[in-house]
Amino acid sequence: MARTFVGTVATGLALTFLGGSLTSPAAAQTRTQFEQARKRMVDEVVIGSGVKDERVIKAMLATPRHEFVEIKYRREAYLDKAIPIGDKQTISSPFIVSYMTQSIDPRPTDKVLEIGTGS
């Protein structure tokens, strides 16, 4: 179920390393503010809830959640809550994503079939 996160993280990492950035002047926060919010989320929600897997922590630090939600939800991207992403789907809360990912202990050679777990 959480294996879909591996694909999401890969997409997020690709966006991060390929120069993904805030492109809309309507964005309410700056890149620095998003980075600070992401770091705070990881410290308080991910690590604070007991996630210890360094790979998961590193992925959560690198994934720009705000780029996966509509601009009107960007201020909420790093809160511990699910956020609508359209078509009656949500991006899962950071705790759920990190906990489930740590629980399945994914490996680079794993093949994942994700069905019906949201986004």
pLDDT for 34-80, tens place per residue?
A: 999 999 999 999 999 999 999 999 999 999 999 999 999 999 999 99
pTM: 0.71
Which H, E and C letters describe the chain, residue by residue? Answer: CCHHHHHHHHHHHHHHHCCCCCCCCCCCCCHHHHHHHHHHHHHHHHHHHCCCCHHHHHHHHHCCHHHHCCHHHHHHCCCCCCEEEECCEEECCHHHHHHHHHHHCCCCCCCCCCCCCCC
| Average of per-residue pLDDT values in the chain | 81
Q: Which pLDDT score, from 0 to 100, does residue 115 have?
A: 75
Domains of the chain (ranges, CATH numbers) = 3-16+26-103 (3.40.50.150)
pLDDT range class, residue 116, cuts 50, 70, 90: low
d(CA 28, CA 12) in angstroms, rounded, equals 20
CA atoms within 13 A on the CB side of 31: 8
Q: Which of 21, 24, 49, 92 is catalytic?
A: 92
With vertex at residue 10, the alpha carbon angle to CA 117 and CA 82, rounded to the nearest 5 degrees, is: 40
Residues belonging to the chain: 119
Active site residue 92: yes
